[in-house]
Structure 1
Amino acid sequence: MSRAGLRADLIAGLSVAMVLIPQSMAYAGLAGLPVVYGLYAAALPVAVAALWGSSRFLHTGPVAMLSLMSAAAIAPFATPGSEQFITLSVMLALMVGVLRLAFGLFRLGVLMNFTSHPVTLGFTNAAALIIGLSLLNTFINVPMPRSDSFVVDLSAVVAQFPHAHWPTVVFGVATLAFLLLMRRMAPRVPAVLLAVLLGTSVSAVIGFEQNASVPFDGILDTTARQAYQALARTRAELGATSERLAGLGDELREAKRRGEFMPELEVEQARLAAAERILERQLNAQRIAAHSFVLAPVADGGAVVGYRKASPGEGGWRVVRVDIDEVLLARGGQVVGDIPRGLPAPALPVVDWEVAPSLFGAALVIALIGFMEATAISRALAAQKREKLDTNQELIGQGLANIIGSIFHAYVVSGSFSRSAVAARAGAQTGFYAVVSALAVVAAIFFLTPYLYHLPQAVLAAIVMTAVFGLIDVKALVGAWRVQRADGVIGLVTFLATLALAPNLAGGVLVGVVLAALAFLIGTMRPRAEVLGRLPTGSLGGAFTHDLPPLSERFVVLRFDASLVFVNVAYFEEAVRRAVASFPKATAVLVIGSGINRIDASGTEAIKALASDLGAAGCTLMFSGLKKPVLNAFERAGLLPLLGKENIYPNRNVALDRLTQLEAEVATRPAG
């Protein structure tokens, strides 16, 4: 590498790091993890993907969409932020990495072709909307329930607007306005980094975080104290139930290993699972109810002795967390807090064999969706820079990044459009720029984390919102509708399904893929088949579509625009018979076969049957414009002697000239 190229990569790497560090922290929160896990995912996986991937511009690391998908996949099995949740997040990264590596080694990059553009559009628009709105509770500092319906959870957050913490709202709105203004006025300036620095500084100066740990007997308002105690009991009961459920799972697996059948344990497992779901719903409701109480301190001799119900308009304290014997109250906003310094020791991810099968479907969808996003970015950058792209090699690089990252406690990573664009704009020359950005993250983990304590969570929420709302592209969906109504419907249904099924984003993708496959199948089963007439310009067009007179009463010209295979042979036969029935005087049917790219055994049998039936009725079946592979299939199936070689024409013009000549000969032939 030349000195100029090295300098360019160093500048690009540092430029990307300015975006990567705050983004990775924000995306970790979206994934339900402590912010430090975002930094872990922004370190070693970034360098691994750059060294083993194909694109020299693609930047790998935490991304918003996969962060939310990871959180949604694991939420049914653990509480966000808990040790079990972190363990499963790292295990999911390992599963995604193994799948991507396998796809790359077996050269299955072609799988990306099974997701149509309308499905991608619908999913991306819905996912961006869900990601942004899922941070609304952080934006206004109210609890958000975690249920099986994102729409229900969001409505619960909206209902809590009267309880919003307005200083937090000010931080969030100010950050949004700053980022949008900088994007328009100074797009090359690292606005995200500036927002973090400004937000952290202001938060530290004004004492944005104000917390107090209070024993239950220090809550002087009886109703509030009872609500907090009920919340603590439910949380403890849920923890015990989940622990017992996990123990039962271990017992059942051990029993199966010994070949024993223990129905009483399976019944107990089902009962506890149902109880766990009930307790989770109960806990969600109690969290919201507890947060509605506003308290004020009671002082005696300058010391706070308890907390009473606050008067209207009085600055108050609200519950943040309840433990067994105390309550954490807050009057200020939520900040990032303590971030562990240094990198974690490498360790093989813990694989929970009970949960892993349930996570496989989500891991597969995350592997495909993440790589689809990364491929789209890589192709766009490769086209701009005239770079050759190997999608299978990129799969290998992405797979290794997730596998090795999981050993160093990283969660799922993939290609990032925003950071890749920053690198390209900064003049990156090789993938070494990504290594530079990873080293900058490592330096931040070792030396800068203490200074990020006062970073408001609302600032991170605003960073994610500005990133993902830019992905919403309604014009593209409208464009798909204009090009092909079916594509527009597929995109819209995928969008609505993703919203309805959230937080299970994978379900929305599957709905779209199935719908696109059905549309393709229907289009293949009922392709375009039209009787042709003569347009005023002299060219041929659909007789019934354009209300054209027929070419002749003596012969029919039918265009069939599809391969003739088992799924549409019945429709082909129906089209030919319908055309003959519309022209009872016709003695010939010419099928313009230039659109027939392939024919199978079902197609040749259908032609044999048609030729026989039409011949018995005094009508000849003819073909024109058949491609060589189709002609070869005709010959192998014995159709040429049956139809007559004279009835197979090289193109439609020769066929029409011959049919017109035959019609003229019949017309001049003496009667009798």
Structure 2
Amino acid sequence: MEPWVATGARTTTPDGKAPSLRARLRGGLRMAGRDLSRTPDWFAQVTPKTIWADAIAGLTGATLSLPQSVAFAAIAGLPPQYGFYTAMVPPIITAFFGSSWHAAAGPATAISALVFGALAGNFVPGSPEFISAAIFLALLVGVFQLAMGLMRLGGVVDFVSHSVMIGFVSGAALLIALSQLGDALAVELPRPEDLFTFFGALLQHLPEADFRAVSIALLALAVGVLVRRFLPRWPNYLLALLAATGLSVLYGGSAAGLSTVGAIDGVLPSFALPHFDGDKLRDIASGALAIGVVGLLEAMSVARALASKSGQMLDGNREFVGQGLSNIGGAFFQCYPSTFSFTRSGVNYEAGARTPLAMLFCVAFLAAILLLVAPYFAEVPIAGMSGVIMLVAWRLINLREIAHLVRHSTSETAIALVTFATTVLVDLEFSIYVGVMMSLFLFLRRTARPIIAISAPDPSTEGRVIRSARLYHLDECPQLMIAMLEGPFYFGTVEAIRREFRRFELERPSQKHVLFSIAGSGEIDLPAAELLVEQAQRRKALGGALHIKLLTLTSFEKLARFEVFKSLGRDHIHLSKRDALASVVPELDLDICRSCKARIFKECPKFPETDSKG
């Protein structure tokens, strides 16, 4: 089942003009106020049966959120408790203000990696300054996402190829896995931003590796893989951490010199105003933009994947608003940037979640579990966490999706490869901008190459449907060319269409009359209208005429506003095939019609000596 996605945005004003940014924002504020003040739609779905199903799903999600929160916080360069905070506050907000009923908000791998990349160059990871910057970053990200939602730009993500996310996530996964090798070996290694330096240091320090740390990391990896393979319903990350902790205790734990997580202060979030040194605001602002974009792309990808299974209708603008509010609200409870998690969302849906109430149960169960087990977190080995994080990173790389991309699309593969290479070799944030720009360039390149199909009536169909003459081997009128535009008609396609018209002039000199069908091509802008006037003048100079067939009244009104009627004449612009042919056929040369054997139109004139087929 395909997901239903509503952007909730009107793309034009009643007079056909695109709304201004101020109008979009004003309209978005009205819509947001209306949407956010009403009772969430899912309230009506709650029954005793769904409450039980959501409770089971919530408990399942809590057992997964516990180890993931620790791992993701480590990826972001933050203490574990900030992963817990981010796993508890954003889900509550998105449950009430988001659109998806099954997606699970909270810390995510790619966002965590971006947070580290945005801050590590200016702050020491784990330091109070780093933590404050990460929390303030959530506020900036939320403001950006909320603004996108209020301006009703929920459909913008449709123009960013999924290949960008494939390349970025794969590159981020590789960097995350490499960044854990130092802890897994218990040696000091630089961050893998410079791969040559990193691998040089790895070879240099490899003989110094602590076999105990290596064995703990390998055990965590093995348990995680085996549990997922043979006991897929069991919490493999949690069991991997438990096994690693058990082996660490056998080795003597922190008393024997092994690095452990240590005591965790305050596992439950508390209200605190985000504060930050304004001097470095510019340094993290670009990171906020990249994180906001990735967060929205990931959120919509997860929501749509689940909606395709459940059949739920999504509202892209509401989802943007929900993501923005969750990050803004989270910043006041010491959360770092969040989005929907692929893993937790999938587990939530597969565990039987029926409504967002499942996420509220998940938060409650997670809080209860943390209050019980927080004292024991002190003995969780860093090497064990590294093994779990490497497993998380490996699962991010979707080999099946990559293979599908390589088999079916060279251009999409190129986008993924360039984004991947930029992620690994240059910079995480920059790779997002490169991928998005390549994606938009590909979109514009495709739309700038519209197809103009030379068509003719098909006598084998009822009503003589106009079809491709080449594809269906149809006879054409020797004087009239029917050209059907398949694609958009705007400034980006004007030159390509002009070149096609020039080619038709050279290759089809006898077809001096043209019926140009613009049905289904979307918006018509001023450059497109000017091209119609130009072609009408050229056809008139050649001894023919240009007639236009439109699909919608909106397009008709636009041509009137652009004063195309003055140049072509109202009788040369039509809203139906019948009217168009009834107008253009009488303009044809009767002497040529008399000798014509095609007789493809019902409107063709009848002559005594000609056997009419029409």
Q: Structures share a fold, TM > 0.5?
A: yes
Q: What CA deviation, in whole Å up to 9, does each residue of 1:211-233 have, x standing for no partner?
A: 6xxxxxxxxxxxxxxxxxxxxxx
Q: What CA deviation, in whole Å up to 9, does each residue of 1:23-72 have, x standing for no partner?
A: 11111111111223222323344434434434342222221111111011
Shift of 1:419: 1.7
Shift of 1:203: 0.8
Say which of 584, 594, 608 aligns to 1:665: 594
**Compared CA separation, residues 475 and 653, structure 1 to 2 (3 A):** farther
Question: Contact 2:124–2:130 at 8 Å: present in 1 too?
Answer: yes
Describe the SS at the equivalent of 1:591.
strand
Say which of 110, 120, 129 aligns to 2:165: 120
Moved more, 14-23 or 104-113: 104-113
Question: Contact 1:53–1:393 at 8 Å: present in 2 too?
Answer: yes
CA distance in 1, matches of 2:206, 2:369: 36
Q: What CA deviation, in whole Å up to 9, does each residue of 1:65-88 have, x standing for no partner?
A: 111110110011111122221221
Equivalent residue letter for 2:489: L
Shift of 1:353: 0.9
- Per the normalisation by structure 1, the TM-score is 0.71
Shift of 1:348: 1.2
Describe the SS at the equivalent of 2:105.
strand
Shift of 1:550: 9.2
Shift of 1:556: 4.6
Q: What CA deviation, in whole Å up to 9, does each residue of 1:545-584 have, x standing for no partner?
A: x9x9995765555443233333332332222122211234
Describe the SS at the equivalent of 1:43.
helix
1:502-651 aligned at under 5 Å gives the runs: 502=427, 505-529=428-452, 551=476, 556-594=481-519, 596-624=521-549, 627-634=552-559, 637-639=563-565, 642=568, 645=571, 650-651=576-577
Matched with 2:414 is 489
Q: What CA deviation, in whole Å up to 9, does each residue of 1:284-332 have, x standing for no partner?
A: xxxxxxxxxxxxxxxxxxxxxxxxxxxxxxxxxxxxxxxxxxxxxxxx5
Matched with 2:292 is 367
Question: Contact 2:84–2:267 at 8 Å: present in 1 too?
Answer: no
Say which of 211, 219, 231 aligns to 1:186: 231
Describe the SS at the equivalent of 1:418.
helix
Q: What CA deviation, in whole Å up to 9, does each residue of 1:322-372 have, x standing for no partner?
A: xxxxxxxxxx54322232255475321212211122212211221231132
Matched with 2:15 is none
Matched with 1:167 is 212
CA distance in 2, matches of 1:381, 1:453: 37
CA distance in 2, matches of 1:346, 1:51: 19
CA distance in 2, matches of 1:107, 1:532: 39
Shift of 1:206: 1.9
CA distance in 1, matches of 2:519, 2:194: 51
CA distance in 1, matches of 2:147, 2:573: 52
**Compared CA separation, residues 653 and 179, structure 1 to 2 (3 A):** farther
**Compared CA separation, residues 67 and 576, structure 1 to 2 (3 A):** same
Question: Contact 1:25–1:35 at 8 Å: present in 2 too?
Answer: yes
Equivalent residue letter for 1:73: A
Matched with 2:363 is 438
User: Is there any run of 5+ residues in structure 1 with no aligned partner, and where?
Assistant: 212-331
Matched with 2:20 is none
**Compared CA separation, residues 554 and 481, structure 1 to 2 (3 A):** farther
Question: Contact 2:149–2:321 at 8 Å: present in 1 too?
Answer: yes
Q: Does residue 76 of structure 1 match 2:121?
A: yes
Describe the SS at the equivalent of 2:546.
strand
Matched with 2:182 is 137
Shift of 1:378: 2.6
User: Is there any run of 5+ residues in structure 2 with no aligned partner, and where?
Assistant: 1-45, 598-606, 608-614
Say which of 92, 101, 105 aligns to 1:60: 105
- CA RMSD between the two structures: 3.8
CA distance in 2, matches of 1:401, 1:586: 62
Equivalent residue letter for 1:65: A
Describe the SS at the equivalent of 1:560.
strand
Question: Contact 1:336–1:453 at 8 Å: present in 2 too?
Answer: yes
Shift of 1:184: 1.9
Shift of 1:204: 0.7
Question: Contact 1:564–1:598 at 8 Å: present in 2 too?
Answer: yes
**Compared CA separation, residues 553 and 367, structure 1 to 2 (3 A):** same
CA distance in 1, matches of 2:517, 2:165: 36
CA distance in 1, matches of 2:575, 2:99: 49
CA distance in 2, matches of 1:534, 1:56: 49
**Compared CA separation, residues 478 and 202, structure 1 to 2 (3 A):** closer
Shift of 1:183: 1.3
Describe the SS at the equivalent of 1:71.
helix
Describe the SS at the equivalent of 1:354.
helix
CA distance in 2, matches of 1:92, 1:479: 36
Shift of 1:19: 1.2
Q: What CA deviation, in whole Å up to 9, does each residue of 1:258-280 have, x standing for no partner?
A: xxxxxxxxxxxxxxxxxxxxxxx
**Compared CA separation, residues 660 and 351, structure 1 to 2 (3 A):** farther
Equivalent residue letter for 2:431: G
1:291-370 aligned at under 5 Å gives the runs: 333-341=258-266, 343=268, 346-370=271-295
Question: Contact 2:550–2:573 at 8 Å: present in 1 too?
Answer: no
Question: Contact 1:60–1:416 at 8 Å: present in 2 too?
Answer: yes
Matched with 1:99 is 144
Say which of 61, 81, 89 aligns to 2:134: 89
**Compared CA separation, residues 484 and 621, structure 1 to 2 (3 A):** farther
- Aligned pairs, how many? 546
Equivalent residue letter for 1:467: V
CA distance in 2, matches of 1:390, 1:638: 38
Q: Percent identity?
A: 31
CA distance in 2, matches of 1:401, 1:667: 71
Describe the SS at the equivalent of 2:522.
coil
- Structure with bigger RCO (C-alpha 8 Å, 6+ apart): 1
CA distance in 2, matches of 1:612, 1:46: 62
Question: Contact 2:99–2:318 at 8 Å: present in 1 too?
Answer: yes
CA distance in 2, matches of 1:517, 1:576: 27
Question: Contact 2:102–2:306 at 8 Å: present in 1 too?
Answer: yes
- Per the normalisation by structure 2, the TM-score is 0.77
Question: Contact 2:489–2:523 at 8 Å: present in 1 too?
Answer: yes
**Compared CA separation, residues 118 and 617, structure 1 to 2 (3 A):** same
Equivalent residue letter for 2:594: E
Say which of 438, 458, 481 aligns to 2:383: 458
CA distance in 1, matches of 2:354, 2:150: 27
CA distance in 1, matches of 2:231, 2:208: 36
Matched with 1:422 is 347
CA distance in 1, matches of 2:408, 2:581: 33
**Compared CA separation, residues 210 and 151, structure 1 to 2 (3 A):** farther
CA distance in 1, matches of 2:56, 2:175: 34
